[in-house]
Amino acid sequence: MESSVQRRVEAISRHLLLTRPNPVLSPILLKGGQPINGEAEPVIIGGMVLDIHATPSMPANPRTTTPGKVRYVLGGVARNVAECMSKLGTKPYMISAVGLDMAGNLLIQHWKSAGLSTEGIRKQQDVVTPVVCNILDVNGELAAAVASVEAIEEFLTPEWIQQFKDNICTAPILMVDANLSPLALEASCQIAAESNIPVWFEPVSVSKSRRIASVAKYVSIASPNEDELIAMANALSCANVFPPIERGNKYSAESLFQKLKPAIWLLLEKGIRMVVLTLGSDGVFLCSRGGPTVKRANLERIKAFDSSGQLYKVVTSSCPPHWHDATDLERDSHLFAVHFPALPASVVRLTGAGDCLVGGTLASICAGLNIMQSVAVGIAAAKAAVEAEANVPGAFSLATIADGARSVYSAAKVLFNQPMLMRSLNHGLIYHVQAIKAGLIPTIFTSNQVIHLYSKHGLMREARRLFDEMPEKNAFSWNAIISAYIKSQNLTQARALFNAASHRDLVTYNSMLSGYVSTDGYEAHALKLFIDMQSECEGIRIDEFTLTTMLNLIAKLGVVSYGRQLHSYMVKSANDLSGFAVSSLIDMYSKCGCFEGAWWVFSGFDHGVVDLVSKNAMVAACCREGKLELASDIFWTEAELNDTVSWNTLISGYAQIAYGEETLRLFVLMEKSGFRWNEYTFASVLSACSGLKSLKLGREVHAWVLKNGLCLNPFISSGIVDVYCKCGNIKYAESVHSAIESRNPFAVTSMIVGYASQSNMVEARRLFDSLPEKNNVVWTALFSGYIRSQQCEAVFELLREFQAKEGTVPDALILVSLLSACAIQADLGPGKQIHAYLLRAGIEMDEKLVTALVDMYSKCGSITFAEKIVQRVTDRDSVLYNVMISSYAHHGHETEAIQLFKEMVERSVRPDAVTFLALLSACRHCGLVEQGEQFFHSMRTDYNILPEIDHYACMIDLYGRANQLEKAVALMKMIPIELDAVIWGAFLNACRTNGNTAFAREAEEKLLESEGVDGARYVQLANVYAAEGNWDEMGRIRKKMRGKEIKKLAGCSWVYVQNRVHTFTSSDISHSKTEEIYRTLACLTEELPYEIAGSLY
């Protein structure tokens, strides 16, 4: 038995790579540096606002004036908190901003009259002091509000806050409200973090509460309400996975906590040490990891912050400590939650209650009370606030506060005190080893957590063994092990456990359904399981998560008819009302190609204000459809709701449609708006730089990446490699690639493409061979590289290697590469074989494959086969039309090319620049000058397509072939862009056709100046002079080539013999049967006339 236990301990302990980690939660240390002028003050940073309260005396009627009372009240979350603290005996130091106007003067005068410092309050000329207009109902509750608080974000800047660094660094605690801009929030928190000053974050509103995302790691305490909690959790999870709490339902404290616990849990896991969750009339939840403790460094010194000392004395006598500080390090993985009830009150107005709750709690902490006593005082202060006309009562009665605190304190109830999900693998392993050594059987709850921990780190064997050893299992146990197998993509074992489960609930079904939907090839299983869930024998009531999961499946399948059926069911069952349901419906319709359906869902969401999730989904749908103006309009509507996901969605949309300049403009504007870039932002911007082929911009973005500490992110590093490769700077790309720790297939793909662009396939192949494992993306990159370098024989060699090593069917992109190789070699036989293989294997003929087949048959001389393929395609796009028109042009079938263009227009397929290039090429080959001129003018006037260099070059060649050199010269003078080698090369051909050596000499100078040392251009020049018999000039050009060591790329011929392509160049002796070949050639030439035989050498 002992050896069995020892083996088990060793089996688990082998996963222990590090010593036991430091606890996730250290008790919050309330402290400051040395006091300035004898006493350090808590610092409050946020808004000072003038509130206008409008209370009707009767129920309001719309579109008419209602009698009532309108009052000016001093407000602002941070200001209210600070004033409440001062009236409870703790003098805070306020950092804020106001304008030099009536409202600002009123706020400043009141602050001075309270004996508080105004040094930290910025007074700005020509600025409107923040004002909030609150419309209350007849019961005094907030019905609507309009806030004008831009001055806080604009003038309460990081630079202004930095001036008060000494005050922050010596404060016992710092409170910031979310009215600050994200940059100001981060600057404040960073200053506090330098001196280990605890930070209290007050969310202010749902939209601004999301600003927690950038400062969560610095925050010690947060005080959201229910809606703000959900918004904060969604912002920190980077995905909107936490649904809002349904309104209208009355929950007990226990059931409400269970609904909110996942969101609370996430905040604590992200580093926030304590959550004070305000619930209005339902009281307060106080939640922490390890227990409700604020550990004080020097209690006597902290008591000094309460100038009278009365608050500490009166509360400690009324609320003697009976909650033990949970400072045991074994408890750092526990979630501790306690519920404080609200006090009954005669409500006058509710606008200042939450602020006084925070102010009372902060004042109590600074007075030396523990966190439990402090929250009780905060609730008592909130009661006093709701019974007063002002946001903060004119004065507090300490006796009343003490009585209220005692009632709350004595009624507080622990809701939860159990282990949280262990995030540290070592923590879980140590716990498990200790339990085995002690012969203890862990509780069901703890075992479930360890199973989850093991599965998260890929230790499925240990997770399954622990599950099998559990003497008793509940639904959570089965869900944990089933989810573990789903995450490890072992759906067969997951389904076997699902079928064997003694406890199955909705979570079990949803987990299994989600696993099927997220895994390719299991779509039919997902549909059957969804049907089973609705059968009478199962009796499972599907919920919103089930339905949104099925919407994801329908989006994946692209079957909009299924989506409409499910949408109807959601409407019938009232599951279409939340923002999550709306966003899923928008996403489904968009991905199924039904943009009208997506827009109808979005515009018809009138059950409340469209939330951020739905808004982001609609922006993404517009971008997917290419409707960028509409996407931008939606984005800028209610812009204050936008978050990082919103910005990334819009930036990505512009990047995907190659609007590089607009992408970069939004990228810069995003930071100016106070949002931090992340890896998704940089990925889109790098894509834009690649599209623009701007090395300068690429280097600037690379610098931003380094500055933001994201250089080690393999996703971003791959994008940087791609930019440098596409900009032709392979050395920079190599430098970045060599710094990537893991062999990222995307980075390798970019490097292979980069090497191929410079015809360096030797290095591309070396990099390919260095990969221990190769996926289809890397294989496709190498195939494409060989095609780009026109090494067609290497393509077929690589195919044989792929089939031998991978043993799988080549995907569509690889088959496209093979067809391209056949097209380059004009090799019809292998092309037909590939076509037959496609048909025999039942591979779906997508647009790329169809286009590649048409191109292959055309370039292999089989225009009839190409026509037959096109005729079988009913839904033809512009790419297919362009390829076929180009094919007709290549074969000199100008009539068919023009006729196909007319058909294209009749079918409402919009032609593009490639279409007109193909038409001009057809006219050029057949000498149709007038028709070519019509097309050239039509592209600009009828389709608003600006001619590019290739269009101008085609027209110049057309004029040259028609002996109209004057028109070519006139056109060149009208070209609005800089003339490059393409234009001068076309003009040189025109000169050769017309025998005009004078123009040829001018073209020579411009051509060599613009093209550099390309051998093909020198040969072209030499041929012009040779055609005129001007051998001296031809010799001069050849001499230039030798002087600059320019070599002409040797021409080659391909011969297809016995299923193999043989390549020959002039004077080539590399073939294995060179002697036999030349001997046979010599015999053949003896039989030929002298003139013909001489041309063979």
For residues 359 and 306, membership in a common domain is answered with yes
Q: What is the mean pLDDT of residues 248-274?
A: 82
pLDDT reported for residue 534? 80
Establish if 268 belongs to a structural domain.
yes
pLDDT reported for residue 325? 40
Establish if 661 belongs to a structural domain.
no
Establish if 880 belongs to a structural domain.
no
Distance CA(589)–CA(621), nearest Å, equals: 9
The first and second tokens of residue 1080, run together, are 């046979």
**H-type helices in 501-603, by residue range?**
506-518, 523-533, 544-557, 560-572, 579-591, 595-603
Establish if 641 belongs to a structural domain.
no
Helix (H) or strand (E) holding 334: strand 334-340
Q: What is the mean pLDDT of residues 202-223?
A: 90
pLDDT reported for residue 285? 93
Tens of pLDDT, residues 883-922: 898 888 888 888 898 999 999 988 888 888 889 998 988 8
For residue 872, give every residue at least 6 positions away whose Cβ sits within 8 Å of its Cβ, in sequence order, or none. Answer: none
The first and second tokens of residue 252, run together, are 């007990």
Distance CA(145)–CA(135), nearest Å, equals: 6
For residues 332 and 371, membership in a common domain is answered with yes
The first and second tokens of residue 667, run together, are 């990228």
For residues 513 and 399, membership in a common domain is answered with no
pLDDT reported for residue 62? 73
pLDDT reported for residue 188? 93
DSSP track, 242-297: -PPPPTT----HHHHHHHHHHHHHHHHHTT--EEEEE-GGG-EEEEEESSS-EEES
pLDDT reported for residue 70? 86
- Note whether 76 and 48 are within 8 A (CB): yes
519, exposed or middle or buried, with CB in 10 Å at 0-12, 13-18, 19+? Answer: middle
Q: Which residues pair with 94 in a beta bridge?
A: 44
Among 542, 567, 589, the domain-final residue is: 542
Tens of pLDDT, residues 328-384: 333 455 677 889 999 888 887 777 889 999 999 999 888 888 888 899 999 999 999
Distance CA(486)–CA(754), nearest Å, equals: 38
Total number of residues shown for the chain: 1097
Tens of pLDDT, residues 923-943: 888 888 899 899 999 888 888
Of the ranges 4-8, 196-200, 1033-1037, 1075-1079, which one carries the lowest mean pLDDT score?
4-8
- Note whether 450 and 320 are within 8 A (CB): no
Q: Which residues pair with 121 in a beta bridge?
A: 96
Distance CA(115)–CA(762), nearest Å, equals: 79
For residue 791, give every residue at least 6 positions away whose Cβ sits within 8 Å of its Cβ, in sequence order, or none. Answer: 761
3-state secondary structure of 95: strand
3-state secondary structure of 318: helix
Among 875, 898, 920, the domain-final residue is: 875
Q: Is the dihedral of CA 529, 534, 538, 539 positive or negative?
A: positive
pLDDT reported for residue 468? 85
pLDDT level of residue 19 (50, 70, 90 thresholds): very low
- Note whether 176 and 121 are within 8 A (CB): no
pLDDT reported for residue 804? 77
Measure Cα distances from 95 to 45, 210, 361, 439, 540 in Å: 5, 22, 20, 58, 55
- Note whether 332 and 423 are within 8 A (CB): no
Q: Pick from 709, 750, 745, 713: which is nearest to 729 by CA?
A: 750
For residues 228 and 322, membership in a common domain is answered with yes
Question: Around Cβ 331, how many Cβ atoms within 10 Å?
Answer: 17
DSSP secondary structure code for residue 19 in this structure: P
Q: Pick from 41, 163, 31: which is nearest to 97 by CA?
A: 163
Distance CA(342)–CA(407), nearest Å, equals: 10
1010, exposed or middle or buried, with CB in 10 Å at 0-12, 13-18, 19+? Answer: middle
The first and second tokens of residue 724, run together, are 């440098």
The first and second tokens of residue 824, run together, are 């380059």
The first and second tokens of residue 169, run together, are 């660094």
Distance CA(869)–CA(887), nearest Å, equals: 13
pLDDT reported for residue 191? 93
Task: Give me the torsion for CA of 449, 454, 460, 461, rounded to 10°.
Answer: -90
Q: Which residues pair with 75 in a beta bridge?
A: 49
Q: What is the mean pLDDT of residues 434-443?
A: 58
For residues 402 and 253, membership in a common domain is answered with yes
Question: CATH number for the domain including 374?
Answer: 3.40.1190.20
Distance CA(473)–CA(508), nearest Å, equals: 14
Of the ranges 10-14, 95-99, 479-483, 774-778, which one carries the lowest mean pLDDT score?
10-14
Q: What is the mean pLDDT of residues 1072-1088?
A: 74
The first and second tokens of residue 103, run together, are 């409202």
Give yes or no for residue 198 having a pLDDT over 90. Answer: yes
pLDDT reported for residue 306? 44
Distance CA(1046)–CA(1043), nearest Å, equals: 8
224 vs 844, higher pLDDT: 224
Among 498, 520, 542, the domain-final residue is: 542
- Note whether 130 and 148 are within 8 A (CB): yes
Establish if 468 belongs to a structural domain.
yes
Angle between helices 544-557 and 506-518 (to 10 degrees): 10
- Note whether 851 and 880 are within 8 A (CB): yes
The first and second tokens of residue 1090, run together, are 């002298």
Of the ranges 208-217, 238-247, 450-459, which one carries the lowest mean pLDDT score?
238-247
For residues 412 and 446, membership in a common domain is answered with no
For residues 259 and 317, membership in a common domain is answered with yes
- Note whether 855 and 883 are within 8 A (CB): yes
**Range of 1061's domain?**
1052-1094
- Note whether 666 and 674 are within 8 A (CB): no
The first and second tokens of residue 736, run together, are 């970045």
- Note whether 204 and 177 are within 8 A (CB): yes
- Note whether 690 and 726 are within 8 A (CB): yes
- Note whether 507 and 481 are within 8 A (CB): no
Measure Cα distances from 1012 to 18, 99, 727, 980, 1044 in Å: 60, 64, 18, 11, 10
For residues 231 and 319, membership in a common domain is answered with yes
Tens of pLDDT, residues 160-178: 999 999 999 999 999 999 9
Establish if 136 belongs to a structural domain.
no
Helix (H) or strand (E) holding 44: strand 43-45
- Identity of the amino acid at 773: E
For residues 226 and 80, membership in a common domain is answered with yes
Question: Around Cβ 857, how many Cβ atoms within 10 Å?
Answer: 26
pLDDT reported for residue 591? 87
Tens of pLDDT, residues 729-757: 888 888 887 777 566 667 777 788 778 77
Q: Pick from 138, 140, 145, 139: which is nearest to 59 by CA?
A: 138
Q: How many domains does the chain have?
A: 4
pTM: 0.52
pLDDT level of residue 693 (50, 70, 90 thresholds): confident
3-state secondary structure of 777: helix
For residues 413 and 485, membership in a common domain is answered with no
Establish if 684 belongs to a structural domain.
no
For residue 847, give every residue at least 6 positions away whose Cβ sits within 8 Å of its Cβ, in sequence order, or none. Answer: 877, 879, 880
For residues 531 and 491, membership in a common domain is answered with yes
Distance CA(560)–CA(585), nearest Å, equals: 11
Question: Around Cβ 157, how many Cβ atoms within 10 Å?
Answer: 16
**H-type helices in 928-1073, by residue range?**
929-941, 949-961, 965-974, 981-994, 997-1011, 1015-1027, 1031-1043
CA neighbours within 13 Å on the CB side: how many for 906? 6
692 vs 861, higher pLDDT: 861
For residues 404 and 445, membership in a common domain is answered with no
Give yes or no for residue 765 having a pLDDT over 50. Answer: yes
Establish if 284 belongs to a structural domain.
yes
pLDDT reported for residue 294? 54
Distance CA(1018)–CA(1005), nearest Å, equals: 11
Give yes or no for residue 21 having a pLDDT over 50. Answer: no
Q: What is the mean pLDDT of residues 1035-1041?
A: 63
- Identity of the amino acid at 344: P
989, exposed or middle or buried, with CB in 10 Å at 0-12, 13-18, 19+? Answer: buried
**Mean of per-residue pLDDT scores for the chain:** 78
